[in-house]
């Protein structure tokens, strides 16, 4: 029997996850809105046999002008349009887009994802997020961000509607018989007639069922509500775990929650984020890290840390100890889990303000690793073998350099150990991830009634 292998996502934040990454000599910051650059990145990830490209998203522009001027991330392609374009210049790699359930309509989301799944021959994933910032609500006519609990209830209903819309077409609904003039079998295309708390959607959808049945459902939440939603409906999770212990706890907790929804552990892939600094040697990796730390302007680092922790740091010197008194996070309506991770770091380590922001300037609370290719592979292998991960969502510090390093140095090491594929064996993202193709639930329900 073949050895169990990792699944890997290439998480693109253009032009890099590190706050100062865009300033790195091997970052193409000036190409942030160049399709040719996106194509180069996608083809590099495909050369590395990644399961998927993963695109995060926020529905807001640069908020604070003093800090905003130093941040590269507030001008970027919109995920569904970008992935549609990338589908034409890649052949096998999956394409995962982040789309918010708080600020979208299920009909649009179902249709667009189905459209890209058809364009790409079944390579789409949907990273389902509820959005966490008031600034996002303000772009959609909402004075306040909907409450955390409400957002998760809406997300659950949203996903139900979207899956229902995909199921309005049976897989073999299209007949396309020129002779008889029958284009589709009308009995196999049915309205949804959904009436819920948040949504009322008649259907049917105006595109055939996606090649994958449903695009792969991905989530990232680690709050209690987020975990339950993921256990119920996600097929891959991209969690922020800062330490092995956190990751193992999360892994075991999540796999344990599946049974009550009638799901098996194999149908649920846990892929924590990992932020790797890769050198040809350990020394080179250390040098890279030092260079990146230099690239973060102190005022940017302090503002970033303040934003992630919710602590006002304006009265402190940068080399003062980090004041670990967090505001009450039960009142926080944003990403609850991120604050918990920050508390964890603060509690475990005695850091100055500068040391703290340097620690999170790339990984933002995700797992951060550094070293030679074999040292990186050792750390990934440990998490993978010891019950903390089924794979990883790789967050390159800067692009294209950080991705090239991972593909050219780390992937061959993982392949040599038998931990990662050397060729794609499947054609769809589901096949890459080892997930089965979902049955049409509407048809299943009808056949249960008829039996």
Least distance to a second copy from the beta carbon of 438, Å?
19
Tell me: is residue 57 an annotated ligand-binding position: yes
Classify 55 as helix, strand or coil.
strand
Half-sphere exposure of 316 (CA within 13 A, CB side): 19
Rounded to 5 degrees, what are φ and ψ at 449? -65, -40
Nearer to a second copy, 65 or 331 (CB): 65
Contacts of 233 (CB under 8 A, 6+ apart): 128, 156, 159, 217, 219
The token pair at 329 is: 């996070």
* Alpha helix stretches (DSSP H) within 121-181: 134-137, 148-166
Q: What is the torsion angle, in degrees rounded to the nearest 10, for the CA atoms of residue 295, residue 239, residue 438 and residue 125?
A: -10
Nearer to a second copy, 135 or 258 (CB): 135
Beta partners for residue 200, in sequence order: 195
223 labelled ligand-binding: yes
Cβ closest to a second copy, residue 41 vs residue 410: 41
Q: 193 labelled as ligand-binding? A: no
Q: Closer to a second copy at the Cβ: 122 or 391?
A: 122
Going from the C-alpha of 325 to that of each of 194, 341, 360, 422, the distances in angstroms are 47, 14, 18, 48
Q: What is the dihedral of CA 361, 53, 420, 255, to 10 degrees?
A: 80
Gap between the Cα atoms of 9 and 54, Å rounded: 6
User: What minimum distance in Å lies between the beta carbon of 14 and a second copy?
Assistant: 11
Judged by DSSP in three states, 191 sits in coil
**What is the closest distance, in whole angstroms, from the C-beta atom of residue 427 to a second copy in the complex?**
15
Instruction: Report whether 152 belongs to an annotated binding site.
Output: yes
Question: Exposure pattern of 403-413 as b/e (b: 16+ CB <10 Å)?
Answer: bbbbbebbbeb
CA atoms in the 13 A half-sphere facing the CB of 357: 28
C-beta of residue 275 within 8 angstroms of C-beta of residue 363? yes
Give min distance, CB of 350 to a second copy, in A: 29
Concatenate the DSSP letters of all residues of 46-97 into one string. Answer: HHTT-SEEEE---S-----HHHHTT-STTS---HHHHHHHHHTS-SS-EEEE
Distance (Å, rounded) from C-alpha 40 to C-alpha 305?
A: 32
Question: What is the pairing mode between strands 124-129 and 367-371?
Answer: unpaired
Among residues 95 and 311, whose Cβ is nearest to a second copy? Answer: 95
The pair of structure tokens assigned to 380 is 């990934």
Burial class (CB in 10 A: 0-12, 13-18, 19+), 131: buried
Q: Which is nearer to a second copy, 139 or 422 (CB)?
A: 139
162 preceded by a cis bond (ω within 30 of 0)? no
Q: Helix or strand or coil: residue 167?
A: coil
Give least dist CB 63 to a second copy, A. Answer: 9
Provide the minimum distance between the beta carbon of 196 and a second copy in the complex, in angstroms, as a whole number: 10
CB of 139 to a second copy, least distance (A): 4
Nearer residue to a second copy within complex by CB, 193 or 349? 193
Q: How many CB atoms lie within 10 A of CB 157?
A: 17
Closer residue to a second copy, CB minimum distance, 20 or 391 = 20
Nearer to a second copy, 64 or 281 (CB): 64
CB of 97 to a second copy, least distance (A): 10
- The answer to whether 138 is annotated as binding is no
Residues 316 and 352: their CA atoms lie apart, in Å, by 10
* Integer CA distances (angstroms), 93 to 52, 123, 127, in order: 5, 7, 16
CB of 132 vs a second copy, minimal distance in Å: 15
Nearest approach in angstroms of CB 340 to a second copy is 27
Binding residues for FMN: 57, 98, 148, 152, 223
Binding residues: 57, 98, 148, 152, 223
């Amino acid at each position: 029997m073949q050895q169990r292998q990792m699944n890997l996502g290439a998480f693109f934040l253009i032009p890099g996850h590190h706050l100062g990454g865009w300033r790195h000599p091997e970052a193409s910051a000036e190409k942030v809105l160049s399709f040719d650059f996106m194509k180069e990145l996608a083809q590099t990830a495909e050369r590395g046999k990644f399961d998927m490209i993963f695109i995060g998203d926020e529905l807001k522009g640069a908020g604070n002008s003093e800090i905003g001027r130093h941040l590269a991330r507030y001008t970027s392609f919109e995920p569904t349009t970008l992935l549609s374009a990338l589908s034409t210049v890649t052949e096998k790699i999956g394409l995962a887009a982040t789309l918010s359930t708080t600020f979208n309509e299920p009909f649009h989301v179902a249709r667009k994802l189905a459209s890209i799944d058809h364009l790409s021959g079944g390579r789409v994933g949907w990273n389902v997020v509820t959005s966490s910032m008031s600034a996002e609500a303000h772009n959609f006519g909402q004075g306040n961000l909907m409450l955390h609990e409400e957002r998760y209830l809406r997300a659950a209903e949203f996903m139900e509607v979207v899956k229902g819309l995909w199921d309005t077409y049976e897989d073999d609904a299209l007949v396309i018989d020129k002779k008889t003039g029958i284009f589709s079998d009308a009995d196999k295309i049915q309205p949804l007639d959904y009436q819920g708390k948040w949504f009322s959607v008649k259907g049917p959808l105006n595109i055939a069922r996606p090649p994958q049945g449903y695009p792969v459902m991905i989530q990232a939440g680690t709050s209690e509500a987020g975990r339950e939603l993921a256990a119920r409906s996600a097929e891959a999770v991209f969690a922020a775990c800062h330490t092995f212990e956190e990751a193992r706890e999360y892994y075991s907790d999540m796999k344990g929650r599946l049974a009550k929804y009638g799901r098996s552990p194999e149908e649920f892939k846990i892929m924590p984020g990992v932020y790797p600094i890769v050198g040809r040697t350990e020394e080179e990796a250390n040098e890279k890290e030092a260079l990146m730390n230099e690239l973060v302007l102190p005022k940017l680092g302090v503002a970033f840390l303040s934003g992630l922790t919710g602590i006002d740091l304006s009265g402190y010197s940068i080399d003062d100890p980090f004041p670990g008194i967090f505001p009450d996070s039960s009142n926080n309506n944003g990403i609850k889990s991120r604050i918990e991770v920050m508390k964890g770091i603060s509690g475990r380590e005695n850091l100055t303000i500068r040391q703290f922001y340097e620690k999170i300037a790339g990984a933002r609370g995700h797992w951060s690793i550094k070293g030679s290719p074999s040292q990186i592979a050792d750390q990934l292998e440990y998490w993978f073998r010891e019950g903390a991960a089924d794979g990883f969502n790789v967050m390159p510090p800067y692009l294209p350099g950080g991705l090239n390093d991972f593909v050219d140095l780390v992937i061959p090491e993982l392949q040599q150990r038998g931990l990662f594929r050397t060729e794609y064996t499947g054609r769809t993202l589901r096949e890459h991830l080892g997930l089965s193709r979902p049955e049409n639930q509407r048809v299943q329900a009808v056949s249960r009634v008829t039996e």
